[in-house]
Amino acid sequence: MNVKLNRSDYMLLVIYYGVSVLMAIYEYANRKHELIEFFLDIPSFVIVDILIIYLFLYWLLPSYILKNKKYFQFTFWTLLVLILAGFWEDVIGHYSGGHDWGKFEYGFQQVLNYISDSAQSIGLPFGLLLAKKYYENQILFGNIKEKQKENELKLLRSQISPHFLFNNLNTLDALIDSDTEKAKEYLNRLSLIYRYLIQTKDAEVMELSEELELAENYIFLIKTRFGDDYDFTITKNVSIENKFVPTGAIQTLLENIAKHNRSQHGKVIKAKIVIDADWLTVQNTKSILKPNENSLGTGLKNLEYRYQLLSDQKPEITDTIEKFVVKIPIIKLSEES
């Protein structure tokens, strides 16, 4: 669940606290509070409330509930935050009201009051935000699931398309006459690709090691078909154990390179796959034959949609005159990875 604030969330907070401030001013005026209380109490409660909401949305919920399910730590930090907020409000109120510090209340009951007052203060705005975020995430999830079903069929058709098969059969036919041994290897690699695609068609993510095997087979087909027009390198800067990517992600990126770039005047299209701790980067030099206008094709769009469902991170795409770079987040299913 994505709990980060967006523009409409900020608008909701502005409206809520705008109304709350007006109500507080009216109440303070009726009770004939001193001017200092207006300028200390009201801004203080707004700032503290918003700070608590930020702590919940950007620290407590992501760190202890959404990712790690550490309920004890979440409860501890929640109570501590509420107590500190309540204590601060009490201090501000005591100071602005000109009360005797000798009568400042301490004790267990006062701590309970701090928790209760702070919870009541942020309860409504925080509840509204969570309800809104839940509703938005449900809509997004529904849209993505619906789009994913459609895209999975498109993706599978693009991976096992008659056009793809036709091109590879033509290459295989030419190899049979010229190089029988290479034709056997080509057929073996092609069968491995199809077997992998069929076996993993229902899998959301696959181990990076298996995806790299698919990539190596796919690169073999490209190199055999186009000769030295493409130069591929794979660099593993870290261990690839316990690391995952969306199924077929690397093959989609390689397909994008071959689809949108052609060697011209002997200029080799150089492509690199680099694996780091958190990212897998696929980078290629660009063809000078024509502008690469549709680099963000269906395959890459499908990949972005899938990341919205699988992770709170998304692919990063850099398109310059000389190169095209796609960085996809590596998905880790265990903390040790």
User: Cα(first)–Cα(last) distance of the chain, in Å?
Assistant: 22
User: Are 190 and 72 part of one and the same domain?
Assistant: no
Name every residue whose Cβ is closer than 8 Å to that of residue 309 and which is 6 or more positions away in sequence. 141, 144, 145, 148, 204
Domain housing 215:
160-329
Residue 5 has phi, psi (to 5 degrees) of -75, 140
Q: Give the chain's domain count.
A: 2
Asked if residue 239 is part of any domain, the answer here is yes
Q: What is the pLDDT of residue 272?
A: 97
User: Are 165 and 301 part of one and the same domain?
Assistant: yes
Beta-carbon-side half-sphere exposure of residue 69 (alpha carbons within 13 Å): 1
Asked if residue 153 is part of any domain, the answer here is no
In the sheet with 230-236, reading across from the earlier edge strand, the strands are 230-236, 269-275, 279-285, 323-329, 316-319
Asked if residue 155 is part of any domain, the answer here is no
**Rounded CA separation 115/57 (Å):** 19
Q: What is the pLDDT of residue 161?
A: 55
Q: Are 44 and 36 in contact (CB under 8 A)?
A: no
Name every residue whose Cβ is closer than 8 Å to that of residue 85 and which is 6 or more positions away in sequence. 48, 51, 52, 114, 118, 121
List 267's β-bridge partners, or say none: 264
Beta-carbon-side half-sphere exposure of residue 263 (alpha carbons within 13 Å): 16
Q: What is the pLDDT of residue 202?
A: 75
User: Are 16 and 59 part of one and the same domain?
Assistant: yes
**Segments of the chain with pLDDT less than 50:** 153, 156-157, 291-292, 295, 336-337
User: Are 169 and 38 part of one and the same domain?
Assistant: no
The residue ranges of DSSP E strands in 167-220, in sequence order, are 205-207
Name every residue whose Cβ is closer than 8 Å to that of residue 270 and which is 6 or more positions away in sequence. 230, 231, 233, 284, 285
User: Are 218 and 299 part of one and the same domain?
Assistant: yes
User: Are 105 and 237 part of one and the same domain?
Assistant: no
User: Are 166 and 302 part of one and the same domain?
Assistant: yes
Asked if residue 151 is part of any domain, the answer here is no
Q: What is the pTM of this model?
A: 0.54
**CATH number of the domain where residue 323 is located:** 3.30.565.10
Q: Are 81 and 88 in contact (CB under 8 A)?
A: no
Domain boundary among 137, 172, 199: 137
User: Are 195 and 323 part of one and the same domain?
Assistant: yes
User: Are 188 and 279 part of one and the same domain?
Assistant: yes
Collapsed DSSP state (helix, strand, coil) of residue 30: helix
User: Are 172 and 277 part of one and the same domain?
Assistant: yes
Q: What is the pLDDT of residue 57?
A: 87
